[in-house]
Structure 1
């Protein structure tokens, strides 16, 4: 089946969903409420980090900030479930959340840049928007993995190889869903349209949900190590303070 026919069939299948969501995501009141929720969520995140979770490394503080900026209360819930030093017991599911959040923070930034540039600024055709956005998302997500590995002393070639096989499945699924949803809802929208930004925010969260089971599987089978248990960081900080005292 030609690609154009497949895309047409997908658009037809999801047309009822589009008819429901587009008016909601185009509503100024919904935008205002969403911005307020994001503001409260980011403020709560940083209050908790500064008051209770200073032991988190700078990288993860940045990761969770981006996750909450993209997904508001949903992102804050993810942080509360898996990202704090106060979690009672770590699990595969929490490791999967942290791994997905790490991927999501980089890919989300790349997606925002790619969509804004390709669709919002250059007004390119849908195919080019999808390709450029995927390229930026992959580049940003890839760099967020390679960079920390290089800082740990891993050789550049090994870092690139590790990032390639560990991150490619997650990034690919995340961006297929996120970019597909964004273009389905707002392929004709312009930067000045509320729909342009609300569809982007909505699609980012869908991408996280789609990539989560992929990351759980990658962690389970040892392809990815998963991000470190934050509760252990809290224990180490407490021990250091007691030793100093």
Structure 2
């Protein structure tokens, strides 16, 4: 039977408190990154974006995985593999979630059906992640042309995107199915839904990014003292020159390489030998597609993929208050 959506039970004031804490969290992360923590430029912006999407949770993750505890210790602080994987996941989320959120706002404006909307969002997330946050921002660090960076980043980004969308897709659809206001970017409920979806997406994408970093298929957390503000070697810092981020399998640009090129940052685990067979890559790729399919199933099972902004949805399994079957 046809039902009109029911709004979230959370009071509006709680939502605005969350938004206020989100702005404060993002402001602190931006201040810390641009004044004291020597993270790479692309990751500075990545952290700010993800904190805007995830609020105090983003600040908490940043505090324990990236924030430099005292001057000159960032290399050692971000060395553990789990922190390297956090950096890779944040980089993934910054591009993918941005594309998904932008697309969701546009498709909501044009009133597209949710079943179409989610695949437009998937494509937009992949485009933002691959063409901007991966290839464009990382080509200098990879020591490659833009085209080479695209080819090198395609498979790892696709794996990450599948996992990210596997978490975001069902979260968005289920929440929007229960409050149609969340389909319109002008509503605060839209941003609340996207915040929740990004958090779930980051959680699902983390294990995939951990595997990619461990096997040197993606970069991990870095520091501009070793890799420069844009990702290239910092020629002005010989004491750090030649330090490479854990998980990076690509050669540095010849102009920036030194006799120490390829060394890890102090204390950084260089787990994995960077030689991953095509079969293992294919297997993990299939697993990410299975994750995406599972996310789609949850969305279709517990949400309404036929809904459009402003229209009633079909939720046959939910009983109307006061009615019996």
Q: Say which of 101, 104, 117 aligns to 2:90.
A: 101
Native 8 Å contact 2:40 2:223 kept in 1: no
Shift of 1:58: 2.1
- For residues 116-135 of structure 1, the aligned pairs below 5 Å read 116-119=105-108, 121-135=109-123
Tell me: CA distance 1:63–1:149, structure 2 relative to 1, closer, same or farther (3 Å): closer
Partner of 1:10: none
Deviation readout 1:106-147 (Å, 9 max, x if unpaired)? 11110111110112x011111111011111111101121010
Shift of 1:100: 0.2
User: How large is the Cα RMSD of the aligned pairs?
Assistant: 2.8
Partner of 1:147: 136
Partner of 1:6: none
Partner of 1:9: none
Q: Say which of 173, 197, 215 aligns to 1:183.
A: 173
Deviation readout 1:168-202 (Å, 9 max, x if unpaired)? 11111111210221011114334244322211111
Tell me: CA distance 1:230–1:211, structure 2 relative to 1, closer, same or farther (3 Å): farther
Tell me: CA distance 1:218–1:195, structure 2 relative to 1, closer, same or farther (3 Å): same
Partner of 2:17: 33
Deviation readout 1:200-236 (Å, 9 max, x if unpaired)? 11111110111011100111122223232578579x9
Shift of 1:78: 1.7
Structure having the larger proportion of residues in helix: 1
Tell me: CA distance 1:231–1:74, structure 2 relative to 1, closer, same or farther (3 Å): farther
Q: Say which of 202, 206, 209 aligns to 2:200.
A: 206
User: How far apart, in 1, do the equivalents of 2:221 and 2:136 lie?
Assistant: 15
Q: Say which of 187, 194, 218 aligns to 1:224.
A: 218
Residue 64 (1) aligns with residue 64 (2): no
Q: Say which of 2, 20, 23 aligns to 2:9.
A: 23
Question: Which secondary structure does the structure 2 equivalent of 1:22 belong to?
Answer: coil
Structure 1: 5+ residue stretches without partners: 1-17
Native 8 Å contact 2:53 2:194 kept in 1: no
User: How far apart, in 2, do the equivalents of 1:158 and 1:233 lie?
Assistant: 19
Structure 2: 5+ residue stretches without partners: 240-325
User: How far apart, in 2, do the equivalents of 1:34 and 1:130 lie?
Assistant: 26
User: How far apart, in 2, do the equivalents of 1:67 and 1:45 lie?
Assistant: 10
User: How far apart, in 2, do the equivalents of 1:222 and 1:168 lie?
Assistant: 16
Question: Which secondary structure does the structure 2 equivalent of 1:23 belong to?
Answer: coil
Would you say how many aligned residue pairs link Structure 1 and Structure 2?
Answer: 218
Tell me: CA distance 1:232–1:79, structure 2 relative to 1, closer, same or farther (3 Å): farther
Native 8 Å contact 2:88 2:209 kept in 1: yes
Native 8 Å contact 1:37 1:72 kept in 2: yes
User: How far apart, in 1, do the equivalents of 2:187 and 2:25 lie?
Assistant: 24
Shift of 1:42: 1.6
Shift of 1:149: 3.7
Deviation readout 1:42-89 (Å, 9 max, x if unpaired)? 222133234422x33321211111011111111112212222333554
Point out the structure with max Rg over C-alpha.
Answer: 2
Partner of 1:82: 65
Residue 168 (1) aligns with residue 162 (2): no
